[in-house]
């Protein structure tokens, strides 16, 4: 009898999980990406350099453009914008 009760409990939990997933998928919050092609990302964080407790430099790639962005408590500022080829060339020159 105890084994049946445990199996029923597991089945109930799995049923609730399935119902929750179904509800989330109908609302558009959860999706299964089986068989889908990966989407090429246009925005990518390349590096992050903390300068202090609240100041950071971010190197971000947007398509073929690299952006150097400074962030602070007062907001974000674009420091410099350049081609991604310049970054690749600078990395190879150091090596």
In which residue are the tokens 């150091």 written? 94
Per-residue DSSP letter, 55? -
Look at residue 88 in the predicted model and tell me its pLDDT.
74
Q: At 56, which helix (H) or strand (E)?
A: strand 56-62
From first to last of its 95 residues, the chain has per-residue pLDDT tens of 788 899 999 999 999 999 998 888 887 776 555 555 666 778 889 899 999 999 999 999 988 899 999 999 999 999 999 888 887 776 555 55
CA distance linking residue 49 with residue 26, whole number of Å: 41
Cβ pair 80, 90 in contact under 8 A: no
Domain locations in the chain as residue ranges: 1-37, 40-95
The pLDDT of residue 2 is: 85
């Amino acid at each position: 009898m105890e084994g049946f009760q445990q199996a029923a409990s597991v089945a109930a939990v799995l049923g609730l999980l399935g119902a929750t997933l179904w509800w989330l998928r109908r609302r558009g919050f959860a999706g299964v990406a089986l068989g889908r092609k990966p989407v090429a990302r246009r925005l990518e964080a390349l590096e992050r350099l903390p300068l202090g407790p609240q100041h950071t430099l971010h190197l971000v790639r947007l398509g073929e453009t690299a952006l150097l962005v400074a962030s602070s408590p007062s907001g974000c500022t674009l420091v410099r914008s350049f081609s991604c080829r310049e970054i690749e060339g600078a990395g190879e020159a150091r090596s």
